[in-house]
Amino acid sequence: MEEAVGKLWHKWITQASGTEFPEARVALPDVQKKISLWFHSFGGAPVLTIKAASREQWQARRSWLARIAGVEWQVQLCWKDNESLFLPGALTCFPDRALNEKLYLWLAALAALPDDTHASEHWIQRSQQQVQQALGQWPGLRKTYQMLVDAHLQLRPLPTPKNLQAQEQQLRDALRNPDQAVTTDIDPRALAPVPLWLHPLPPATPAAQSSAPPPDITAETDQVTEIKSDHRRQGKQVDHSREDEGLLAFRLESLFSWAEFVNVDRPQEDDEELGAKQAANDLDEFAVSRKSGTVKQRLKFDLDLPASNFDDVSTHEGIKLPEWDYRKNLLLKDHCTLSLLYGSDIKPVPLPAHLRQSAKRVRAFFEHLALNKQWLRQQPQGSEVDWDAYLDTLTAWRSGQQEATAGLYKEMRRHQRDLSCLLLADLSLSTEAAVDDKHAVIDVVRDGLFLMSEALEATGDRFAIGGFSSKNRQHIHYYPIKHFNEPLNNQIRGRIQAIRPGFYTRMGAAIRYATKILATESSSRRLLFLLSDGKPNDVDRYEGRYGIEDTRKAIQDAQRQGIVPFCVTIDNRANEYLPYLFGHQHYVVVHHAQQLPARLPQLYARLTEVG
């Protein structure tokens, strides 16, 4: 009875002290595409990825009801850095859902403004300048801003301490009149947050940590449980403590015992899988350390964690490749080292039995299209009479036109395809993820390469196949599966069968090496067909915007050499970064990984205008 009453009291006091409106909730994923369109239309940097901001405690004085309920004041405010645009994972500020959605679009407009204000300026003045600049550039937003201000001021709490009430009034006046100067020095955390402005004290970018080889982790299951929430967790890297790994010495006679049997039924608490997921949901900050071992369950969630520090150790012998540093606006010469890796125990294998029927259909389809013939009309000689040319000539004669007689024959000629394609597969560690109970992403990629090779062989196009992964800039691995001059045979199929997940995805270096290979081809059309399951990343600073900018530079360099890059991905978040990398017409997202093997030949046929 006491427990039931306690639950009812907790539910009532929590709802009574709340200042949000969950019934009008607007989640970021529901409006992310619209926000992205607004942000880029207003001039926001296209490379920035839209993410949910992490929660942080606000130090302003809470209401007496919130203090009784023990509810902490946690907020999610909008801010941006060089890598991402952070927005609240969900908005429940207003009782009207339409107003919450308008607030998202207003914040996107503010965030799209250039960073031309000085950090030393007062935070209210800086916010007012941003509002004035937004309303000056886009006058159509004035009505939206006024609606948001009126609705916010009606709900905004008035601080209890009298010394803060004057500051609160100045803040309200600054919201109503962005051009009205505020001279009083106000601590932003002493008052309630302003969701209509950008973060007054945006989190600083954490210092990078030293890099180290990835730990050796063994999972008891391939299944990965993704934890979805409306905010990102904060993370900090710590050194793994070994104090609990020594020998524990104690005297057995000092160990007390309890002989009485106590029947306690705690099935939920003993469920380790439920406990891990519940604990991850309850935590807003994680301490992350490197430790090898075995895990029972793998969880996936967004974490604000600094990237590893860049390692400047000299590189070993190999193929030297440049890398683009967008911060310095400089192409770093011979910055990366790529090694060609060949399998030593590759055995020839036939086409897998479960793909033979599909491969037969694919080959028949592409062979039929490859044999496409076209009629050459008005030829001086040929296999058949060109009746259209005959009628045109007869009509001209009868009308009195004395022109030279056109060719009266037509000849069937086979359509020639002058095309070279390099199929490049991402073999990073993420391809170990499970697609279903029996298959992983790497299995789907392998089947896709099998069917694509059959299709390319049937067209008669020159093609090569390669895979890549990386561990850092010193260890970029490229796996030559098939060269242009090699015929498709069981040895090549054995190489495809032998592919395994590697480490990370240094995509820029792999694209540059593939560009070098394609540049040696004399075909009039050269296609780089990239198959990936995620965005560029590596263990050093090749993460976030740095990796995206380097990959974009590599793609642009390939395009200047007449090579057409095209990306096929199974990453459901690819729409956030692939348009910036490849352009809107040069990538496709396959939302169901199981469909990838069948989709690849279809995409190639459409891309090369076979059909």
- Show the beta-strand stretches assigned E in 188-318: 217-219, 224-226, 233-237, 285-288, 293-295, 298-300, 303-304
Question: pTM of the entire structure?
Answer: 0.65
Distance (Å, whole) CA 189 – CA 211: 35
Residue 433 to residue 445: CA distance in whole angstroms: 12
| Predicted pLDDT at 363 | 86
DSSP bridge pairs for 100: none
Could you state, in order of their start, the residue ranges of all structural domains in the chain?
2-190, 206-237+269-306, 341-368+417-468+476-607, 373-414
Domain 341-368+417-468+476-607: CATH class, spelled out: alpha beta
**Residue 63: both structure tokens together:** 């209401």
Instruction: Return the SS3 of 611.
Output: coil
Going 374 to 380 to 386 to 392, the CA torsion angle's sign is positive
pLDDT at 329: 92
| CB within 8 Å of 552: residues ≥ 6 apart | 47, 580, 581
Identify the pLDDT of residue 528.
95
Tell me which amino acid residue 193 is: P
The series of mean pLDDT values per 10 residues for the chain, 611 residues long, is 64 57 87 86 82 75 54 75 85 89 91 69 84 91 92 82 79 86 73 86 57 52 54 57 53 53 50 57 60 62 47 56 93 93 84 91 77 64 78 78 68 69 91 78 92 89 93 92 93 93 92 95 92 87 89 95 92 84 89 86 78 42
pLDDT for the residue 269:
46
pLDDT at 308: 41
